[in-house]
Amino acid sequence: MEVTFVGAAREVTGSCHVLKVGGRTVLLDCGMFQGARQESAAKNKALPVPVAEIDAVVLSHAHIDHAGRLPLLIREGYAKQIFATPATRDLCAIMLGDSAHIQEKDAEFLAKRRKEFIEPLYTTRDAVRTIELMVGQPYGTTFDVVPGVRATFIDAGHILGSASVILDCTEEGVSRRLVFSGDIGRRGLAIIRDPQIPTGADTVIMESTYGNRDHESVADARSHLARVVRDTAARGGRVLIPAFAVGRTQELIYSLHELHREGAIPAIPIYVDSPLAIDTTSVFEMHPDTFDRNEDFVRKVPELFQFDLVRYTRSVEDSKELSTMHGPMVIIAASGMVEAGRILHHLAQGAGDPRNTILIVGFQAEHTLGRRIVERRPMIKVFGDEMPLKANVEVINGYSAHADRGELTSWLQAVRESSPALRDIYLVHGEPPAQDELATSLTAKGFSVSSPSPGTTIML
């Protein structure tokens, strides 16, 4: 029994780990690499193992850095099962379709520039076939993945449908319980339930995105959001929010809805300018069974994502019309790391206006435009053009769907309390400074911790 770390090893994106048990091969996630474009493009084309060797895929959640290369497997001939929660399957139906559309458009653009045919990484047809192979498995139900591997999804509390995966592996009469954390959420996040704690683990593969940072509290984040909206509206400016279409956008709508009901923000229009986010919000509305019923707002308000200030702009024409409007407003648009999507058009128009605020509410990977905005570079490049960054930049980490270092430590300590045989912890999904600081802290608490580099193989 062994695991090879292929993606999200000493970096955040490209989550993919190869589990081999009894001659069978199972992929844990198959995500897209994001960051420096040429390097990411080369990584994304390289399969983790030959398709013919893969017997099954287990998917933790729908974010593109965890699910984004699944259609590439299908394009290369994979035709076996992909296990995910029902909500993850529904989210992937729109997210992978959107990703495929981007791949096709990028290939078309490059073909025109180079005057030669460019094959996309995968197509919409590949994305559709991916969903056809997905098998929805509810939380708490144990199922057979391949002979020798049984899995159980538990709620990771990260986004809708996100799961930590308990894998019971048996080979030649020896059994081991491997826990793949997926992305661990935070306690007290809006809408989503708190993370569940897996039990009986022998080995844990754990994310470490914020292993060296602490978030502001969820309550402080909400107050911070209200202040940003009030201050920007008072200047007559726009609040431009690059937000992941899945999870972050819905949390922001939820918080703005609450703040509006309380009179904590002025009655200015709030535009959700992302077809993907609009479709994702519809998926959220299809799965109220996964919401946190401990929240008063969830219990008392039947329409969480519909209120009089919010407007959903699906068409290109409606999006363009926003640039002709005057007065303060909030615009939430994809993409989360400011690498594509309609947010670029709003930045091209608004980044140079000191009345505006660019509000960053999620992790920004190295080499992305979002990271350069967080670093408050005096000049940024949008659509290839250099422009001054004069808008205010605010960062709210309290909306992060990732546990911070304290929350990661608490999660792991809770796992240890229920897992007397727990031995080894392998940190993934984190940049080296975050992993190294977290590893040092966890080692001091008595854990055996390592941060495997890409291609590292460990025995269970």
What pLDDT, on a 0 to 100 scale, did the predictor assign at position 340? 79
What pLDDT, on a 0 to 100 scale, did the predictor assign at position 209? 95
Please report which helix (H) or strand (E) contains residue 124, including its range. Answer: helix 124-133
Contacts of 36 (CB under 8 A, 6+ apart): 366, 367
Residues 381-386: contacts with CB under 8 Å, at least 24 apart: 382/344, 382/347, 382/348, 382/351, 383/344, 383/348, 385/348
For the chain, give every residue range classified as CATH 3.60.15.10: 2-213+401-459
- The stretches in the chain having pLDDT less than 50 are none
In this structure, what token pair is assigned to residue 105? 């458009």
Contacts of 391 (CB under 8 A, 6+ apart): 237, 240, 350, 351, 352, 353, 354, 355, 356, 357, 358
For the chain, give every residue range classified as CATH 3.40.50.10890: 218-399
- d(C-alpha 60, C-alpha 163), whole Å: 5
Q: Supply the CATH classification number for the domain 218-399.
A: 3.40.50.10890
Residue from 88, 83, 121 nearest 103 by CA: 121
What pLDDT, on a 0 to 100 scale, did the predictor assign at position 442? 98
- Which CA distances in Å does 417 have to 197, 203, 410, 420, 438? 10, 14, 11, 7, 19
What pLDDT, on a 0 to 100 scale, did the predictor assign at position 336? 80
What pLDDT, on a 0 to 100 scale, did the predictor assign at position 366? 80
Class of domain 2-213+401-459: alpha beta
Q: What is the pLDDT of residues 352-391, one digit of tens each?
A: 999 999 999 988 878 889 899 999 999 999 988 899 999 9
pTM of the model: 0.89
φ and ψ at residue 196, rounded to 5 degrees: -85, 155
CA–CA–CA angle 276, 281, 285 (5° rounding): 150
What pLDDT, on a 0 to 100 scale, did the predictor assign at position 111? 84
